[in-house]
Amino acid sequence: MPSLKRSFIFLFATLMLGQAVSAQADLPDFTQLVEEASPAVVNISTRQKVPDRVASGGQAMPDLEGLPPMFREFFERNIPQVPRSPGGRQREAQSLGSGFIISADGYVLTNNHVVADADEIIVRLSDRSELEAKLIGADPRSDVALLKVEGENLPTVKLGKSEDLKVGEWVLAIGSPFGFDHSVTAGIVSAKGRTLPNESYVPFIQTDVAINPGNSGGPLFNLAGEVVGINSQIFTRSGGFMGLSFAIPMSVAMDVADQLKSDGKVSRGWLGVVIQEVNKDLAESFGLDKPAGALVAQVLDDGPAAKGGLQVGDVILALDGKSIIMSGDLPHLVGSMKPGSKAVLDVVRDGSRKKLTLTIGALPEDGDAIASTPAGGGEAASNRLGVKVAELTDEQKKSLDLKGGVVISEVLDGPAALIGLRPGDVVTHLNNQAIGSAKTFTEVAQSLPKNRSVSMRVLRQGRASFITFKLAE
């Protein structure tokens, strides 16, 4: 019996050891990838002339003259000191970032924010040699910068296809967090196609790879040792890594780099519309089966969309056969198209699906300026929504580029107050019907259905959006 017991224990231990070895074998080994890729990853430092009495952190330097020795020693020890330039009237500020070499003759990719406003850019190679870099071009919208150093037969990275990445796939970053050169961190792809605030034209790769200050501009590798992204930014409330990091897809970065190299600037496609997300209530009000697509809240005058027949209230479901699931998908697709190219849009209008063919325009350098909303005037009319509205004057219609609509002059107790309407808001559509006058607004409001989502298009300070509400009475 004891022998049988020992045999059982031995068998159990063998099985557990086998499972542990198997689990270990399933984990990726990054050693060869790091050895092969590290030589092409560089550290980037910049020098920028700043006023003499400004410290490296942008704080004014205190006047230490006349202070007691113990206090002067404290300030000198704890305030970051930067070297004075000749004459003592300027100082040099330095910043640290990362980058990687994409060609043997010395082209380097990094983030725009790493080298922005720099007077001098220094690239330090893995052998600690330093080369001065020339800025070929930078694109703030994508946060990509292309540098050039003089050299031959420099080590280069292998470039991969970011579109082939899959959520859950292992990825690895090499960079210089806090100045620690060639630090390696690893994780997985958390999501793809992320849209971040003020970053409409980059479908970011989200990962849980540890990224910190100094990693910016460094490469994100797949397990094949190919660069699939440029580490760009993190989401944080503490100033440090919190598990959310974002990389610019390599397909976007190389398109930008090629344009900077050939033209010195980047051209992007443009529709000339203001869009918003389609939520459950909006989907119901527009007769959609499920929340999807990009709702057109505003069509800019004389823009590509206006010339192509796109209308306010259209829901764009696809562009050239590529589905628009989230509204942020549309700027990514349009921005990647060449101005002058043709695009086919699948839209839902008045509950029916149709196709529109239009010509993509060029994104304006200064963005799309939209007029602000003036105060309303004219005769007021009351209605069951709990607002008083007034006709728009001809001057107001011209300034807002409107053919109709009413302005809210007073918000009373009722549904309008609950959904956040304010005096000065301009209503152009209610329940998918264009509003041409205060009388029309009142008539449409009186016939609104109960206990069903109803949409309303509102302009506030010149920006248009659709909101939804339900009348429970």
The yes-or-no answer on residue 232 being catalytic is no
The single residue of 45, 176, 190, 216 carrying the catalytic annotation is: 216
The single residue of 98, 142, 143, 176 carrying the catalytic annotation is: 143
The yes-or-no answer on residue 352 being catalytic is no
CA 322 vs CA 14, 295, 390: distances in Å:
52, 16, 42
Is the four-CA dihedral 13, 15, 20, 24 of positive or negative sign? positive
The yes-or-no answer on residue 429 being catalytic is no
Residue length, the chain? 473
Cα–Cα distance, 325 to 307 (Å, whole number): 25
The single residue of 85, 113, 336, 399 carrying the catalytic annotation is: 113
Burial (0-12, 13-18, 19+ Cβ within 10 Å), 327: buried
Catalytic (active-site) positions = 113, 143, 216
